[in-house]
Each structure stands twice: as C-alpha cells, then as structure tokens.
Structure 1
C-alpha cells in the first residue's frame, strides 16, 4: 500500500492522493476504496459524492490533507 495525503484537484473537480512532490495517484472516483488515518488508527472507507465529496463513515469538514493509503 502507498501512503499519501488527499488533495483537491480543481482542474478535474475531484480528489487525488499526493504521494510525493510529483507523484500522484491520478484522481479518485466515486466508490474508490482507501484507508484514512484517524483516531490514531487506519480505518477503511470509500470516497463518494453527494452535495460534496465525502468519505463514508468519516467526519471531516475538509478532506484535503487527510493521511490516506491505497
């Protein structure tokens, strides 16, 4: 699994994962499974879109910067 941080790509209007300076996942789509580090542990989730992008079962005002792995 690769670990990185969620970022919002305004060009594509979707979230992506940044692994390093020039290393990106390539854009997340609805239903993509990943793990997020929250509460000092990794939790499985998936990304979805309703009124805004959200992670199923994860409470967060802003997804940008969350530590994730995929």
Structure 2
C-alpha cells in the first residue's frame, strides 16, 4: 500500500535556477516545478533507495541528512 502512495509523486532532477536564486526540479526539457522553498519536503534517490529529506539554505542549498558535494542532478520526487 505504501508504494501506491508514491505513484502520485513526480520524479525529476535537481537544477539551480539563477533567475530566482532557488533550486528547482526539472521534469523534462521544458517542465519545471517552479522553484523550491526552504523547508519543502521531498525524497532523494541514494544508493537505489528513496530517502525522505527537506531542502534548506544556509551559505548554500542543502538537503537535511544527505551528504553530497552538489545537489545538481540528484534524482528527487515530490
């Protein structure tokens, strides 16, 4: 039943949108989430598993509990 809930989530890759100074999710060539806000919850694919997290901004954007050099290109779903 838990997997059924995930069917409604959209999957894409994290990108940085300099025009709005926010991380965004790219779903296709011309489809974007519209900018992520601090505290927004999402899941990130790490070693074949979807891990729940949230996005925050300090000096740079980061995912709480996820250690990575860069967020760009990470597969996420929301």
Question: TM-score, structure 2 length as denominator?
Answer: 0.88
- Flag the structure with more relative contact order, 1 or 2, with Cα contacts below 8 A and sequence separation at least 6: 1
Asked if residue 34 in structure 1 is aligned to residue 42 in structure 2, the reply is: yes
Aligned-pair Cα RMSD in Å: 0.5
**Structure 1 portions without partners, runs of 5+:** none
Aligned equivalents of 2:48, 2:10: Cα separation in 1: 18
* Larger of the two Rg values belongs to structure: 2
Q: Does 1:19 align with 2:27?
A: yes
Structure 1 ranges of 4+ moved more than 6 A: none
- Mapping 1:1-70, distance limit 5 Å: 1-70=9-78
TM-score normalized by the length of structure 1:
0.97
Q: If each structure's strand is expressed as a fraction of its own residues, which one has the higher value?
A: 1
User: Per residue, is there more helix in 1 or in 2?
Assistant: 2
Q: Distance in 2 between matches of 1:59 and 1:27?
A: 21
| Structure 2: stretches of 5+ with no match in the other structure | 1-8
